[in-house]
Amino acid sequence: MDYYQKLNLKHVINASGKMTILGVSKTSNAGIEAQEFGDKHFFEMSDLVKKSGKYVAELIGAEDAVIVNSASAGIALAVAGVIGQGSQYHVYHPYSPKFKTRNIVIPKGQNVDYGAPEEEMITLGGGNVVEAGYANMCSPEHLEMMIDEDTAAVFYVKSHHAVQKSMLTVKQAVEIAHKHNLPLILDAAAEEDLKKYLALNVDIILFSGAKAIEGPASGLVFGKAKYIDWIRMQSSGIGRAMKIGKDNLLGLVGAIEEYVSAGPEDGTHMRKRLAPFLQNLNTIPGLTVKEAQDQAGREIYRADIKMNADASKSAFQVIKELKNNDPAIYTREYRANEGIIEFDIRALDSEEMNLIVERLKEIMK
């Protein structure tokens, strides 16, 4: 008996992408092997945390890194670190009024809810959220005018959740932060290139360990050594509630080793796998189907399905019916109000894609 049966759970077909609500991703074989080693051995944990971070930093070309239990924890710890600036008193009293430099400046269109609000994690770290610009735009000037003597850091979110148009770039945000001798904290949780933002001189970079890297539940914080030292100190403060186990920590190390050598599925291969899926979807009446690249510019290609005017059901109805069966089929729902459903194939095999096509045919009859 497997755990679907034992716990009376639905099987899930994940056409949504590497999403937390579905368990993020399948852990790579290298990650599972490293995780098992962690399960079966003991360590001096402070030594393991520091040396694993140094090792991972060398693999990706960063000055230093620390593995935490999630990218969300990384946000809170990074904010706490830049406010405390290495003060042991701050570690024990993170919300003390003695520490007045707490403002974290973030473009308004990036203060998003990714499953929890960005501002909630910033606040948890002791930061005061200061929004720059407007819901539909943020220029370099908008960002700079919000910086004052109480600013601890500039914060940037690189995500499909965030506003994409009329938004300053990561490079521009770095330049403004450094002009004012401030660090840039970059939430790049679902990004795929571990080295891209190091080349832009970003100070603190946050990745999910369980998304593109395909590690176990974990987060990776990497960048400039000074800031990583400050962040690592938080393990004796608010970080105690966010500690990662030895198994998941080593699991991420193993997954990163594999990821650095093999990388994610490239766009060319993904488009090749996607082509027959698109062809089969196009045989279903009432749908217009096309290939679409990820809105945030990643090399990820998906099937976009638009409900035609004469379609028998709305996008919301189709999404609901796909979820209601066993196996439950989860899609990307962000554009359902436009009549569009997105299918992400990164976690799908050909058999699952065929099952989705057959299920859609039944629903659209």
- Which CATH number goes with the domain that contains 346? 3.90.1150.180
Domain check: are 246 and 346 in the same one?
no
Domain check: are 45 and 172 in the same one?
yes
Q: 213-231 burial, b if ≥16 CB within 10 A, otherwise e?
A: bbbbbbbbbbbbeebbebb
- Tell whether the model's pLDDT for residue 57 goes beyond 80: yes
Distance CA 95, CA 71 (A): 21
Query: Hey, is 40 helix, strand or coil?
Result: coil
Mean pLDDT of the chain: 94
- Chain mean position to CA 149: 31
Domain check: are 271 and 360 in the same one?
yes
Q: Residue 90 sits in a domain of what CATH number? A: 3.40.640.10
- Tell whether the model's pLDDT for residue 76 goes beyond 80: yes
The residue-averaged pLDDT of 243-266 equals 93
Domain check: are 50 and 126 in the same one?
yes
Distance CA 311, CA 363 (A): 11
Domain check: are 114 and 211 in the same one?
yes
The answer to whether the pTM exceeds 0.85 is yes
Distance CA 345, CA 269 (A): 11
The residue-averaged pLDDT of 148-165 equals 94
Domain check: are 147 and 286 in the same one?
no
**What phi and psi values does residue 347 have, to the nearest 5 degrees?**
-100, 10
pLDDT digits (tens, 9 = 90+) for 4-31: 889 999 899 999 988 888 888 889 999 9
**What order of strands is seen across the sheet that includes strand 64-68?**
64-68, 219-223, 204-208, 184-187, 151-157, 103-107, 128-132
**308 CB neighbour count, 10 Å cutoff:** 11
Q: Kindly give, in sequence order, each residue whose CB lies less than 8 Å from that of residue 73, ignoring residues fewer than 6 positions away.
A: 219, 239, 242
- Tell whether the model's pLDDT for residue 226 goes beyond 80: yes
Domain check: are 298 and 160 in the same one?
no
Q: Which segments of the chain does DSSP mark as H helices, in order? A: 3-6, 29-39, 45-60, 71-84, 88-92, 118-124, 140-144, 170-179, 196-199, 225-233, 246-262, 267-281, 315-324, 350-364
Burial tier of 347 (Cβ tally within 10 Å: 0-12, 13-18, 19+) = buried
Total of domains in the chain: 2
Domain check: are 274 and 257 in the same one?
no
What is the domain range of residue 338?
Answer: 265-364
The residue-averaged pLDDT of 78-104 equals 98
The residue-averaged pLDDT of 272-284 equals 95
Domain check: are 285 and 248 in the same one?
no
Domain check: are 74 and 175 in the same one?
yes
Q: Which of 262, 279, 302 is the last residue of a domain?
A: 262
The answer to whether residue 7 sits within a structural domain is no
